């Protein structure tokens, strides 16, 4: 892809394969359902999906039927689970593209049963064990299973739930969720259903909760080389995305000069000020204003003044070698230094998920294949 504006994200597909292998090592003897919703956590759903498909991943999970259709269009053959499954008008597409919905209401079962038209359709049943988001409440499970018996054209292929607190060291809530899930599973089996897949583990549970490795695991963040427990160095994950730019302006401003909207940052000394072509419209959060650092010439330099829609300013006074020709790293490595998604998240008072998913659609992704 041609990029005139020099702000780009590189995505190392080799790192994606490598991180899948790390996930397999962390959860031995488990099938893997790699979560590629939200445009592959900002990395590009089609490229990431194809890479994982070729690497033999057993399942991919998306939030939307549209995302599943995209994956089928680029040739993904593996099973695709649609987590969100707002079925509505999308049932025809769901069936046509061989996507497997996660279902949690009886009316969804009825609609899927009607859409089968002579086919045998499979779905996964989502149980609410404590996240209170999607999932059939435990008190309604019996009724739902009774209702399901009216639709022999539907196969209960999987049963799943989702941890609310898997990243917390305190295991009490996780243990409670796992207990409730096992109880629900027993109920499902008492009704005569025999799901092929049972699954509960997101990245944090893949990393640290082997009791929850019960056949299939569902990592997202780990696949992209990050983990919610920040142990990535110990376990050998490689972040797949780097975010780079090049300066568009470099000038010296006298002490006392106010910088950017609101003039809240005032140069305390004569300052070499660099302007970068990245702003909050690219997903570089305005909340980073005055907090974020970038790498230039292998050194850290601070973002000063308010981040604008398309631009931001950096104080490079202490990086005397910096020129307009230098590459600037917003996230990633340079000469042994690194700005991580965790750091950006801490500066912006958010989580690394939001940083990587937020890298804007006008930032072109360049695909490389480095990590082996």
Ligand X SMILES: Cc1ncc(COP(=O)(O)O)c(C=O)c1O
What is the CB-side half-sphere exposure of residue 250 using CA atoms within 13 A? 15
Instruction: Report the site for ligand X in 209-268 (rule: CB under 6 A).
Output: 218-221, 228
Q: Does 24 bind ligand X (CB under 6 A)?
A: no
Residue whose CB is less far from ligand X, 93 or 354: 354
Q: Residue 338, Cα to own-chain centre: how many angstroms?
A: 20
Q: Rounded distance, CA 98 to CA 103, Å?
A: 15
Instruction: Report the site for ligand X in 159-218 (rule: CB under 6 A).
Output: 162, 202-203, 218
Task: Build a one-symbol-per-residue string for 39-78: x at contacts with ligand X by CB under 6 A, - elsewhere.
Answer: ----------------------------------------
User: What are residue 103's phi and psi, to 5 degrees?
Assistant: -120, 145
- Considering 77, 92, 149, 261, which one is annotated as catalytic? 261
Residue whose CB is less far from ligand X, 161 or 334: 161
Q: Among residues 35, 76, 91, 148, which is the contact residue for ligand X, using CB under 6 A?
A: 35
Residue whose CB is less far from ligand X, 228 or 332: 228
User: What are residue 349's phi and psi, to 5 degrees?
Assistant: 55, 50
- Considering 37, 126, 224, 280, which one is annotated as catalytic? 37
Q: Which residue is nearest to ligand X (CB)?
A: 220
Question: In angstroms, what CA-CA distances link 172 with 56, 177, 372?
Answer: 35, 9, 38
Residues 303 and 290 sit within 8 Å (Cβ to Cβ):
yes
Q: How many residues bind ligand X (CB under 6 A)?
A: 10
Strand-pairing partners, residue 11, are 241, 367
Choose among 12, 355, 19: nearest CA to 207: 19
Q: Rounded distance, CA 244 to CA 334, Å?
A: 10
Residue whose CB is less far from ligand X, 202 or 289: 202
Question: What is the nearest approach in angstroms of ligand X to the Cβ of residue 200?
Answer: 9
Q: Does 83 bind ligand X (CB under 6 A)?
A: yes
Per the annotation, the verdict on 37 as an active-site residue is yes
Choose among 317, 311, 282: nearest CA to 296: 317
Question: What is the nearest approach in angstroms of ligand X to the Cβ of residue 202?
Answer: 4
Tokens 């917390």 sit on residue: 168
**Residues belonging to the active site:** 37, 261
Please give the residue ranges that form the binding site for ligand X (CB under 6 A).
Answer: 35, 83, 162, 202-203, 218-221, 228
């Amino acid at each position: 892809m041609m990029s005139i504006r020099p702000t780009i994200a590189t995505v190392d597909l080799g790192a994606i394969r490598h991180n899948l292998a790390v996930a397999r090592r962390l959860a031995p003897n488990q099938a893997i359902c790699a979560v590629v919703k939200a445009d592959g956590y900002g990395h590009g759903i089609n490229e990431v999906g194809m890479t994982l498909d070729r690497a033999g991943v057993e399942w991919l999970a998306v939030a939307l039927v549209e995302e599943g259709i995209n994956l089928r269009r680029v040739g993904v053959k593996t099973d695709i689970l649609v987590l969100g499954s707002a079925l509505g008008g999308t049932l025809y597409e769901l069936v046509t593209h061989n996507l497997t919905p996660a279902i949690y209401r009886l009316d969804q079962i009825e609609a899927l049963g009607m859409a089968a038209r002579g086919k045998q359709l499979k779905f996964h049943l989502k149980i609410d064990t404590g996240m209170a988001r999607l999932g059939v409440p435990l008190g309604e499970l019996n009724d739902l299973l009774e209702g399901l018996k009216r639709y022999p054209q539907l196969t209960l292929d999987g049963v799943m739930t989702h941890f609310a607190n898997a990243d917390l060291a305190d295991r009490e809530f996780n243990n409670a969720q796992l207990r409730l899930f096992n109880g629900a599973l027993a109920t499902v089996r008492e009704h005569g259903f025999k799901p092929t897949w049972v699954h509960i583990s997101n990245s944090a549970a893949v990393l640290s909760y082997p009791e929850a490795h019960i056949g299939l695991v569902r990592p997202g963040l780990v696949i992209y080389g990050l983990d919610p427990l920040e142990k990535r160095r110990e376990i050998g994950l490689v972040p797949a995305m780097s975010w780079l730019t090049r300066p568009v302006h470099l000038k010296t401003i006298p002490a006392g000069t106010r910088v950017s909207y609101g003039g809240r940052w005032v140069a305390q000394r004569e300052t070499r000020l660099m302007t970068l072509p990245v702003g909050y419209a690219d997903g570089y959060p305005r909340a980073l204003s005055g907090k974020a650092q970038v790498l230039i010439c292998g050194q850290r330099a601070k973002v000063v003044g308010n981040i604008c829609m398309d631009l931001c300013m950096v104080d490079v006074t202490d990086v005397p070698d910096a020129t307009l020709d230098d590459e600037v790293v917003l996230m990633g490595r340079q000469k042994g230094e690194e700005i991580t998604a965790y750091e950006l998240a801490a500066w912006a008072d958010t989580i690394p998920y939001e940083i990587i998913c937020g890298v804007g659609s006008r930032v072109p992704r360049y695909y490389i294949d480095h990590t082996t």
